[in-house]
Structure 1
């Protein structure tokens, strides 16, 4: 980091010069690399792109050519595939086998520094959440057909779960996929809504109903989108993340090769839920950075702005508001850091079992933290915070991002309920295991 004095709350504690038990030299070097690339690719025009509601066509290819899309995948990275494709390191020389979840945290935190999830979301969201189901659950044949072009950025992919009538309630998905009479195709009918990056995607990892009602009837397919007969897509205008390419997809008798099934038929619900864990953790990280940008911008403004004959920072009520926001922000960051550290020490199976519910809770809390920080920033900027240009523009923009933090990836109330249900389930499971262990005869049975 440079020797500049940072505005309070503008950086996580470990980047403000405070000691941390989590980060090693590899993480510190990676943070510098990410910051340099973000300063080059996103920061100069990110705000302008969000105002315009779109990003340049070549932004995705710039990320891809720098191998700067790959850090969106969950750790550990798909090392075998990367090396097979000649990719042995990430920017800055980080070996792909050395990449862990703290590197993920650093990457996600850095790319959110623009103060909007729109520009970065335009290039990362589909890759981050659409490719992993193929890597984790797809057959070798399926991976051979799709992974090389997608992982290198030659083709684009998105994740398509949500529908007009089924969002967080995944088990009620209505888009159907039935076998064609000759058995060669899945014939897909239905619609998907609020699909980030859909407009530009060649493929979607899509949840479809191949069986009866409920979660057991769900499967996942790789569905072709661009230039595919029966597929129509249009952009949805949303309040925040306007540059991310939110899309409505209609599917009318779309023929999908039968071999495009991801994993096993009827296992779609399990695949979707496991995929959500990575998504929710990265949402928690990026939303915390949005809150950080909002409250630190307001903090800096209060150090300069005068009212009633003195600086805003000299008003006790202003300091009180900043203090409450800072406490919420840093508490959530510490919790998210601790989760991420756990991910570096646990297997994916263990993490899904132990941390899935808590990750949902952290995601829900991120939205609450952003809401209070963004609202406070708008109030402290005053009229400037209600204006889409000028020095308070950042607060106005981030405030519009709040619903996009609290709803996608699992809406807030559903996340709160899910967290407790899983904690209860784990408690009951562990209690039963302990009781079984205590009932087991001890010692030798020999006389």
Structure 2
């Protein structure tokens, strides 16, 4: 393990997390993948271990640890071989809870952030819409203020934890004529009348409850507004760097898991009187894949280091997601090939890894959108700066 970034305390944390996942998660993964439902009790177990509070303030029950504890959590979650379960966890911790901590009032933090850290409440972040995709500024969901309340109407889709979560962080237009200058963010209880959710049938991430959500005259207190009205777009952009880095780290971790599994398989699989890791064509392909993974991993660590210091790393985090997710797809594709027919079988991990990995270049901003963002930075010399 790279001692440039990881201390002895980090290593002890990783070992504790590995033991926890091996005991509480791995034996249940196949069932969750088959049913599409994660046992609700696992959330409380994560909370009791402090895993949800890693980088949140001690005042709300968190541990206020550096970002490399987050890196470890993300890496180890990828190695349980359920992209859906991993997504359910990190979407709660690094999407919905990030907004609660950054934009929530003290009352909101006490009501939602504290129980999110303990695992008593689970959240989801609702930005993407059926007609918008990556066009955040073009969202159509509206929030109309009526006295001390807002009335929410619209729909969201591809929302991780969108069906079974306890609360929703929702973006809506409070000033529709102002484009991205008229977006606000709200927290809404799941049981609020007018909310309906439909579970989506996905290629991968089968354990995750990805949902399409409709809001029909949903009435919420004005105090559920997070931050300032019409500042929502700025809040969203502020957190994109973390989200993209999270997905970049996920990608290098699942690629590493695939390589480690495949190397072990190749050392035992024999053909023509010797193990297949002795065939030059396979050996050389393997080291190319391993080198690609290591390059992405080291880059992601350096971005995490800079983000941990408070630097604005939107360019680097965008590169992290773009290149790491592409690398992971290519690595896992080839690893499945190394297993031959067994790679295509559901009894082996590569089939699920192959499906789960494919979401990487799509979710959290497609690769096409990321390339255009980078083109504006690199070619057009656009200088993105912190908005808040």
* TM bucket normalised to smaller: over 0.9
What is aligned with 1:197? 161
Match of 1:81 among 37, 60, 65: 60
Tell me whether 1:20 sits opposite 2:3 in the alignment: yes
Verify the 8 A CA contact 2:163 2:199 in the aligned structure 1: yes
Deviations 1:96-148 (A, max 9, x none): 24x10111111211122112221233344223311221211223343344333
Match of 1:361 among 290, 307, 319: 319
Query: What's the secondary structure of 1:69's corresponding residue?
Result: helix
Distance 1:141 1:59, change over 3 A: closer
Count of equivalent residues? 384
Deviations 1:282-305 (A, max 9, x none): 111122111111122222211121
How do 1:259-270 and structure 2 match up within 5 A? Answer: 259-270=223-234
Query: What's the secondary structure of 1:250's corresponding residue?
Result: strand
Deviations 1:344-401 (A, max 9, x none): 3x22xxx23xx11210110111211111111001111111111112xxx211111101
Tell me whether 1:116 sits opposite 2:95 in the alignment: no
What is aligned with 1:46? 29
Verify the 8 A CA contact 1:328 1:369 in the aligned structure 2: yes
Query: What's the secondary structure of 2:338's corresponding residue?
Result: helix
Distance 1:261 1:427, change over 3 A: closer
Match of 1:216 among 166, 181, 188: 181
**What is the rounded CA distance, in whole Å, between the counterparts of 2:110 and 2:264 in structure 1?**
51
What is aligned with 1:312? 276
How do 1:224-303 and structure 2 match up within 5 A? Answer: 224-225=189-190, 227-303=191-267
**What is the rounded CA distance, in whole Å, between the counterparts of 1:192 and 1:394 in structure 2?**
32
Deviations 1:235-266 (A, max 9, x none): 11111111111111111111111111111111
How do 1:136-175 and structure 2 match up within 5 A? Answer: 136-175=102-141
Tell me whether 1:410 sits opposite 2:375 in the alignment: no
Distance 1:178 1:281, change over 3 A: same
What is aligned with 2:328? 370
Verify the 8 A CA contact 1:159 1:195 in the aligned structure 2: yes
**What is the rounded CA distance, in whole Å, between the counterparts of 1:264 and 1:311 in structure 2?**
63
**What is the rounded CA distance, in whole Å, between the counterparts of 1:341 and 1:170 in structure 2?**
28
Distance 1:191 1:425, change over 3 A: same
Distance 1:343 1:124, change over 3 A: closer
What is aligned with 2:295? 331
Q: What is the deviation of 1:314?
A: 2.3
How do 1:30-109 and structure 2 match up within 5 A? Answer: 30-71=13-54, 75=55, 77-82=56-61, 96-97=63-64, 99-109=65-75
Q: What is the deviation of 1:307?
A: 2.5
**What is the rounded CA distance, in whole Å, between the counterparts of 1:119 and 1:63 in structure 2?**
13
Distance 1:272 1:60, change over 3 A: same
Query: What's the secondary structure of 1:216's corresponding residue?
Result: helix
**What is the rounded CA distance, in whole Å, between the counterparts of 1:178 and 1:427 in structure 2?**
34
For structure 1, the residue ranges without an aligned partner over 5 or more in a row are 1-13, 88-95, 431-447
Deviations 1:320-360 (A, max 9, x none): 2212211110000010111112233x22xxx23xx112101
Q: Which runs of 4+ in 1 moved over 4 A?
A: 423-430
Q: What is the deviation of 1:166?
A: 1.5
Query: What's the secondary structure of 1:404's corresponding residue?
Result: coil
What is aligned with 2:149? 185
Verify the 8 A CA contact 2:130 2:157 in the aligned structure 1: yes
Distance 1:146 1:55, change over 3 A: closer
Higher deviation after alignment, 230-239 or 210-219: 210-219
**What is the rounded CA distance, in whole Å, between the counterparts of 1:57 and 1:213 in structure 2?**
41
- TM (norm. structure 1) is 0.81
What is aligned with 1:11? none
Q: What is the deviation of 1:408?
A: 0.9
